[in-house]
Amino acid sequence: MRVEDLDTPAVVIDRRIAEANLRRAQKRADALGVRLRPHIKTHKLPLFAMRQVEFGAAGVTCQKIGEAEVMADAGISDIFITFNIVGRQKLERLLALHRRVTLSVVADSADTVEGYGGVFTDPSRPLTVLVECDTGGGRCGVQSPADALALARRIASHPGLRFGGLMTYPPRGKVAEVDAWLHDALALFRSEGMDVPRVSVGNSPDFYADQAFTAATELRPGTYIYSDRMQAAFGHGTLADCALTVLVTVVSRPTPDRVILDAGSKALAADLSPSPGHGYIVEYPEAVITTLNEEHAIADFSGCAARPAIGDKLKIIPNHVCVVSNLFDTVNLVEDGEVVEQLPVAARGRMG
Amino acid sequence: MRVEDLDTPAVVIDRRIAEANLRRAQKRADALGVRLRPHIKTHKLPLFAMRQVEFGAAGVTCQKIGEAEVMADAGISDIFITFNIVGRQKLERLLALHRRVTLSVVADSADTVEGYGGVFTDPSRPLTVLVECDTGGGRCGVQSPADALALARRIASHPGLRFGGLMTYPPRGKVAEVDAWLHDALALFRSEGMDVPRVSVGNSPDFYADQAFTAATELRPGTYIYSDRMQAAFGHGTLADCALTVLVTVVSRPTPDRVILDAGSKALAADLSPSPGHGYIVEYPEAVITTLNEEHAIADFSGCAARPAIGDKLKIIPNHVCVVSNLFDTVNLVEDGEVVEQLPVAARGRMG
């Protein structure tokens, strides 16, 4: 089937662009001398997780146990869940997962550590726990290297747990500050004779930045596989590196300049980008998607020389691609305009 | 199972509040002397669609054929799809659906009408097509009563189509203007001797407004079944009328005032409300959810007298409830804090 024969809205992934993005990232990690551990939240597909590992990734990163379970089912053997896992039901699932794969998790509080310690009690197969550090991102994380050390000691005090190192989700564009925080922590741990096996640093926007995280032993970009309008606006590649588009149909042209597309926030998500509007229309770069309702995109074509006809199919590069992956049950892989594979988004909607 | 034993994040629907909202809306429609045709986008559940019909609704409204197919499968016999259906694949599904239920659709262009006319050719079972009117909403719709008349004539010229009336999705808070537009159109149609069988007017916010749409024969509110923070902010009921909450767990408290919850934009959606923040925390009304990442909510508790502990479960009333229904595969119906039913969100993610 040709792409243009797909019913809309549909997610279309250019496999060659995606694979080129995967190879380039692995090269980048190799050049930096760090391990690549891609975040699967962007694609949520076993196929691409396996490709990432084939290309050299050390394993994958997941945010939810449900995502990790899907990846384990698909044969991924090394999974890092960068989330404080709290509550009896989740801890039991975590224990079951730990029996199947090489698993690591994070903690930023004594409560979380005690939760792990209460369930993981086998010294012959300890759970690896990294300390999540708030290096300026303002989300989770211990607030100082001293707090990181105290929590690492608490982890190490449990026979069924193993201190795995430090993890942070850094604020974008603050490489020097984040690096300084981590080096301070590493110096403190060293002065206390405590080994830090891994220093895992996240995010896509800084992955290709001129300045690298020198404290990191592992990087966890996610969005780079598809890229999106936000990444391009941040200067990370161009729109030509965007592998995922949403195919839509023009369903109405109520005025000369207003064009209505059959994809709203239920397909494109309402996330904003530094660029104007709710996505980039490939065929009409000057068009601006001014409003998204749930099932309609309202676009202003006043800046365009031509206008599409009702029934025309157009491709949209979304502002934020990860959230789009979570909205569709199926994606279409294409090569040269031909649909070569239709895949269920296996880790979509895994909430817990 | 008790609500507090649910793993998080989870959607919890207070069945009694939802049913009270349904009954109140039917009473309102009856008092206005109009037919109620609820939009199922808010709940996406056959169960509640059937309840709406049991309580007196004339049928339901869907935005997508996929939603309508789910509702037809569930036994709903009268369905209005308020979307310009364009493209061969969708028209064929529409034809199949038309054989099963009493179906009506809309058109705002000659292209859409000609599309219907090309597929629906049986004069013994014509497809009912309403003319979608832009009464100030700035989305789809013909721009004037004269254009509505011209399109109605085009519909009527097809033996397999039947002109069904006028439909509009009105801008919020503009009842008088919308009503004037519709009355102008009705006068024009009357002067031309053309019957207008139905005048269908949408939206929840104006459903309980003091001023009613006097031109309407049918109203299509959706959000009223659950209500949400946005509706309450608009003055339509109070937060006590909100039937749907998202149960979340406190997973981190990195600073005295910062609380991290295990539900981000993937569970709560990023839609904003006139009230500050990304949702209302029932147990801590003064807390403000300042940021949603995909899997984390970051909340500022500086205005609260108390703080929750890690592991505590809290209930959030979302800003916009319809989009939340589309993010979860399952919802939990509760009564008196007991989970009485777990339902798949059957019409979730129906894109086309």
Instruction: Specify the pLDDT at position B202.
Output: 86
Cβ neighbours of residue A99 closer than 8 Å, sequence gap 6 or more: none
Say if CB A65 and CB A88 are below 8 A apart: no
A92 → chain B, closest CA residue: B7
How high does pLDDT run on average in chain A? 97
Alpha-carbon distance of A58 to A54, in angstroms, equals 9
Tell me B195's DSSP state: -
Q: What are A181's two structure tokens?
A: 């925080």
Instruction: Specify the pLDDT at position B234.
Output: 87
Alpha-carbon distance of A94 to A100, in angstroms, equals 10
B299 → chain A, closest CA residue: A139
Say if CB B310 and CB A111 are below 8 A apart: yes
Share of chain B above pLDDT 70, in %: 100
Nearest to B253 among A109, A270, A349 (CB): A109
Please report which helix (H) or strand (E) contains residue B116, including its range: helix B110-119
Indicate the CATH number for domain A17-225: 3.20.20.10
Q: Which of residues 63-122 of B touch A (CB under 8 A)?
A: 63-64, 83-84, 86-87, 89-90, 108-109, 111-112, 115
Q: What is the least distance, in Å, from the CA of B273 to any CA of chain A?
A: 13
Residue B73 has pLDDT above 90, yes or no: yes
A61 touches chain B (CB under 8 A): no
Long-range contacts of A151-156 (CB under 8 A, 24+ apart): A151/A107, A151/A108, A151/A109, A151/A110, A151/A113, A152/A189, A152/A194, A153/A194, A154/A110, A154/A113, A155/A107, A155/A113, A155/A116, A155/A129, A155/A131, A156/A194
Tell me the three state secondary structure of residue A211: coil
How high does pLDDT run on average in chain B? 97
∠ CA(B311), CA(B255), CA(A131), 5° rounding? 70
pLDDT in tens, B247-277: 999 999 999 999 999 999 999 998 888 889 9
Say if CB B252 and CB A106 are below 8 A apart: no
Nearest to B63 among A250, A270, A295 (CB): A295
pLDDT in tens, A104-115: 999 999 999 999
Instruction: Specify the pLDDT at position A270.
Output: 85
Q: Which of residues 210-229 of A touch B (CB under 8 A)?
A: none
Binary contact (B112, A310; C-beta < 8 A) = yes
Q: Which of A188, A301, A319 is nearest to A245 (CA)?
A: A319
β-pair type (A78-84, A330-335): unpaired
Res. A339 pLDDT band, cuts 50 70 90: very high
Instruction: Specify the pLDDT at position A103.
Output: 98
C-alpha separations of B45 from B39, B81, B343 in Å: 11, 16, 8
Q: Is the dihedral of CA B109, B138, B79, B12 positive or negative?
A: positive
Binary contact (A351, B139; C-beta < 8 A) = no
pLDDT in tens, B154-165: 999 999 999 999
Res. B244 pLDDT band, cuts 50 70 90: very high
Alpha-carbon distance of B324 to B242, in angstroms, equals 13
Tell me A239's DSSP state: G
Q: What is the least distance, in Å, from the CA of A61 to any CA of chain B?
A: 14
B11 → chain A, closest CA residue: A351
Q: Which of A320, A349, A84, A239 is nearest to B266 (CA)?
A: A349
Binary contact (A270, B270; C-beta < 8 A) = yes
Alpha-carbon distance of B128 to A30, in angstroms, equals 62
β-pair type (B10-14, A338-344): unpaired
Say if CB B109 and CB B140 are below 8 A apart: no
Alpha-carbon distance of A212 to A176, in angstroms, equals 8
B260 touches chain A (CB under 8 A): yes
Alpha-carbon distance of B170 to B203, in angstroms, equals 7
Instruction: Specify the pLDDT at position A202.
Output: 86
Res. B122 pLDDT band, cuts 50 70 90: very high
Instruction: Specify the pLDDT at position A279.
Output: 97
- If you count DSSP H runs as helices and E runs as strands, how many of each does chain B have, helices first? 10, 17
Res. A205 pLDDT band, cuts 50 70 90: confident
Alpha-carbon distance of B211 to B176, in angstroms, equals 8
Q: Region A9-33: what's the mean pLDDT? A: 97
Instruction: Specify the pLDDT at position A272.
Output: 85
User: Same CATH fold, A17-225 and A3-10+234-344?
Assistant: no
Interface test with A, best of B40, B86, B312 (most A CBs within 10 A): B86
- Sorted by where each begins, the domain ranges of chain A are 3-10+234-344, 17-225
Alpha-carbon distance of B222 to B307, in angstroms, equals 36
Indicate the CATH number for domain A3-10+234-344: 2.40.37.20
Binary contact (B296, A140; C-beta < 8 A) = yes
Burial of B219 (0-12, 13-18, 19+ CB in 10 A): buried
Cβ neighbours of residue A250 closer than 8 Å, sequence gap 6 or more: A259, A260, A261, A308, A309, A310, A311, A312, A313, A314, B86
- If you count DSSP H runs as helices and E runs as strands, how many of each does chain A have, helices first? 10, 17
B340 touches chain A (CB under 8 A): no
Q: What is the least distance, in Å, from the CA of B277 to any CA of chain A?
A: 15
Res. A223 pLDDT band, cuts 50 70 90: very high
A10 → chain B, closest CA residue: B351
Q: What are A101's two structure tokens?
A: 């794969």
A270 → chain B, closest CA residue: B270
Burial B154-180 (b: 16+ CB within 10 A, else e): bbbebebbbbbbbbbbbbeeebeebbe
Q: What are B104's two structure tokens?
A: 């009506």
Looking at residue B45, its amino acid is L
Burial of A39 (0-12, 13-18, 19+ CB in 10 A): buried
Binary contact (B86, A311; C-beta < 8 A) = yes
Q: Is the dihedral of CA A76, A78, A84, A89 positive or negative?
A: positive
Place of tokens 């009690």: A121
DSSP letter string over A82-137?
EEE--SHHHHHHHHHHHTTSEEEEEESSHHHHHHHHHH---TTSPEEEEEEE-SSS
Residue A85 has pLDDT above 90, yes or no: yes
Residue A95 has pLDDT above 90, yes or no: yes
Going through B63-186 in order, the beta strands assigned E by DSSP cover: 78-84, 102-107, 127-132, 161-168
Binary contact (B138, A258; C-beta < 8 A) = yes
Q: How many CB pairs under 8 A join A and B?
A: 169
Looking at residue A221, its amino acid is P
Place of tokens 């079944």: B225
pLDDT in tens, B34-62: 999 999 999 999 999 999 999 999 999 99
Instruction: Specify the pLDDT at position A313.
Output: 98
Q: What is the least distance, in Å, from the CA of B337 to any CA of chain A?
A: 19
A63 → chain B, closest CA residue: B295
Binary contact (B251, A84; C-beta < 8 A) = yes
Give, rounded to a whole angstrom, the gap between the first and last alpha carbons of chain B. 36
Interface test with B, best of A86, A291, A292, A348 (most B CBs within 10 A): A86
Q: What is the ipTM of this complex?
A: 0.96
Instruction: Specify the pLDDT at position B274.
Output: 87
pLDDT in tens, A236-264: 889 999 999 999 999 999 999 999 999 99
C-alpha separations of A183 from A139, A180, A187, A203, A343 in Å: 20, 5, 6, 19, 42
Instruction: Specify the pLDDT at position B227.
Output: 96
Binary contact (B254, A141; C-beta < 8 A) = yes
Q: Is the dihedral of CA A337, A343, A346, A349 positive or negative?
A: positive
Res. A204 pLDDT band, cuts 50 70 90: confident
Binary contact (A310, B352; C-beta < 8 A) = no
Binary contact (B86, A251; C-beta < 8 A) = yes
Nearest to B8 among A108, A323, A352 (CB): A352
Residue B21 has pLDDT above 90, yes or no: yes
Binary contact (A352, B112; C-beta < 8 A) = no
Q: What is the least distance, in Å, from the CA of A31 to any CA of chain B?
A: 30
Instruction: Specify the pLDDT at position A235.
Output: 84
Cβ neighbours of residue A33 closer than 8 Å, sequence gap 6 or more: none
B7 chain-A contacts, CB cut-off 8 A: 87, 89-90, 352
Alpha-helical (H) ranges within chain A are: 15-32, 46-54, 65-73, 88-98, 110-119, 145-156, 175-191, 229-233, 265-268, 321-325
Binary contact (B86, A262; C-beta < 8 A) = yes
Alpha-carbon distance of B346 to A296, in angstroms, equals 21
Instruction: Specify the pLDDT at position B22.
Output: 98
pLDDT in tens, B196-216: 999 999 888 889 888 999 999
Q: What are A83's two structure tokens?
A: 């989330």
Burial of A305 (0-12, 13-18, 19+ CB in 10 A): exposed
Say if CB A260 and CB A251 are below 8 A apart: yes
Q: Region B161-186: what's the mean pLDDT? A: 97
Can you identify the CATH homologous superfamily of domain B34-225?
Answer: Alanine racemase (3.20.20.10)
Instruction: Specify the pLDDT at position A271.
Output: 85
pLDDT in tens, B230-243: 999 988 889 999 99
B270 → chain A, closest CA residue: A270
Residue B220 has pLDDT above 90, yes or no: yes
Tell me the three state secondary structure of residue A215: coil
Q: Region A218-224: what's the mean pLDDT? A: 97
Share of chain B above pLDDT 90, in %: 94
More confident residue, A270 or B12: B12
Q: Which of residues 125-184 of A touch B (CB under 8 A)?
A: 134, 138-143
Cis geometry, peptide bond prior to residue A38 (ω within 30 degrees of 0)? no
Interface test with B, best of A262, A298, A307, A348 (most B CBs within 10 A): A262
Q: In the Cβ-directed half-sphere of A320, how many Cα atoms lie within 13 Å?
A: 18
